[in-house]
Structure 1
């Protein structure tokens, strides 16, 4: 079997709320519980397993989506009044990027993790 990413643990002050936030924003199935984890599973069976802790070090999680999904997710980001940026340094507030001929945007989850949605993998097209 080729090596595949199966899951990653995401530090959260409130795992239930954080998992619910991610699932709702991305339009994914309702989170499930396994032991101390609240799990959000992506379409390619990679899960983000939220675990309670007060020791949060912000991480970055990027999600490859379709153009139609971008419209839906970006609509939910704006509908919730979330801040968003075109860049990981969070200097281009209120903008999206067009890297590789697609669209991308960054936003934060309730714990300060930087989430990203992109419609084209990096390096797959023209510079934006």
Structure 2
């Protein structure tokens, strides 16, 4: 069997709201609550399991490889919602996208400070 990432736990102050935030940007639906988790399943089967915490949250980085159409739709939702975005992970190029590896990409933060990235061409 090939080794695949199956799921990742994403800590949040409000797991349901944070899962919905990302689902809305990506044009996805949050699954029904499963145990303590609000699952968000992406097309390759990986699940982001949002989990409520009252403690400090260590920022994580999640990058999503998307099609050009998905990029355009997500980018329009980001702009319409007034969510800050950057062309780089260091937040030195606000309100720009990048064109690395022949594709397009940008970064934004979720409500808990997790760094999210959308890109149309993989780095490798």
**Normalised by the size of structure 1, how large is the TM-score?**
0.93
Unpaired segments ≥5 residues, structure 2: none
Q: CA deviation at 1:29?
A: 2.3
Q: CA deviation at 1:32?
A: 2.2
Rounded Cα–Cα distance in structure 2 between residues aligned with 1:30 and 1:115: 17
Q: CA deviation at 1:28?
A: 1.1
Rounded Cα–Cα distance in structure 2 between residues aligned with 1:31 and 1:51: 13
Q: CA deviation at 1:63?
A: 0.1
Rounded Cα–Cα distance in structure 1 between residues aligned with 2:22 and 2:31: 9
What is the total number of aligned residue pairs between the two structures?
123
Equivalent residues in 2 for 1:14-93, closer than 5 Å: 14-54=14-54, 55-93=56-94
Unpaired segments ≥5 residues, structure 1: 124-128
Rounded Cα–Cα distance in structure 2 between residues aligned with 1:81 and 1:95: 14
Structure 1 outlier segments of 4+, above 4 Å: none
**Normalised by the size of structure 2, how large is the TM-score?**
0.96
- Aligned residue in 1 for 2:118: 117
Cα RMSD (Å):
0.8
